[in-house]
Amino acid sequence: MSEAFERLPRVGRFFLTRPRDDRHGCLVLILAADGDGRPLDLEALRAQVGSRVGLLPSRFRRRLADCPFGLAPPILVDDPAFSVERHVERLEIGAPEGQAGDGWDAFDAALCRFVREPLDQSRPLWRMVVAEGLPGGRSAVVVKLHHAITEGEGALASIGNLLFRNDPAPEQATGGTPAPEPGRLRWIGLALGHAAGRSRAGLAALARGIGAWRDPAAEVARWRATRAACRRQLGGRRAASPLRAPVGPRNAIAVAVCALETVQRIRAAQADPLTFDAVVLAAIAGGLRRWFQERGLEPREQVVQVPVSVARRGLGVTKDFVEMPSLMVVPLPVGEADPAERLRRLGRITAERAADAPALQNLFGLLTLLPMPLYRRAAGRLYDKAPHFHLASLRGPAATLRVRGNPVELAYIPTPVRGELALRFAVLTLGGTLTVTLSCDPDVVVAPERLARHIEGALAELAGPEAESSPSTTPGPSGSVLAADRPLASNQEKPRPA
DSSP track, 383-398 = HHHS-SEEEEEEE---
Region at 373 (left for phi over 0; alpha for psi -120 to 50; beta for the rest): alpha
Amino acid letter for position 202: G
Q: What is the dihedral of CA 41, 43, 46, 52, to 10 degrees?
A: -80
Name the residue with higher pLDDT: 391 or 364.
391
- Is 413 within 8 Å of 430 (Cβ atoms)? no
Domain boundaries, the chain: 252-399+417-482
- Is 426 within 8 Å of 445 (Cβ atoms)? no
- Is 482 within 8 Å of 476 (Cβ atoms)? yes
- Is 305 within 8 Å of 387 (Cβ atoms)? yes
pLDDT in tens, 154-211: 888 899 999 997 766 665 555 566 766 666 666 667 666 655 665 565 566 556 656 6
The pLDDT score that the predictor gives to residue 498 is 31
Given a cut of 60, is residue 355 above it in pLDDT? yes
The pLDDT score that the predictor gives to residue 202 is 58
The pLDDT score that the predictor gives to residue 321 is 46
Given a cut of 80, is residue 213 above it in pLDDT? no
The pLDDT score that the predictor gives to residue 401 is 92
The end-to-end CA distance of the chain, in Å, is 58
> What mean pLDDT comes out for the span 77-83?
89
Beta-carbon contacts of 131 under 8 Å, excluding residues fewer than 6 positions away, are 90, 91, 93, 107, 110, 111, 139, 140, 141, 142
Name the residue with higher pLDDT: 208 or 404.
404
Residue 375: which pLDDT band, with cuts at 50, 70 and 90?
Answer: confident
Residue 82: which pLDDT band, with cuts at 50, 70 and 90?
Answer: very high
- Is 292 within 8 Å of 461 (Cβ atoms)? no
The pLDDT score that the predictor gives to residue 288 is 97
Q: Which fold has domain 252-399+417-482?
A: Chloramphenicol Acetyltransferase (3.30.559)
Beta-carbon contacts of 175 under 8 Å, excluding residues fewer than 6 positions away, are 53, 54, 58, 61, 82
pLDDT in tens, 444-498: 999 999 999 999 999 999 998 655 544 444 433 222 233 334 444 443 333 333 3
What is the overall mean pLDDT for the chain?
80
Amino acid letter for position 121: Q
What DSSP element (H or E) covers 195?
helix 184-212
Looking at the chain, the whole-number percentage of residues with pLDDT higher than 90 is: 41
The structure's pTM equals 0.83
Q: How far apart are CA 126 and CA 137, in angstroms?
A: 27
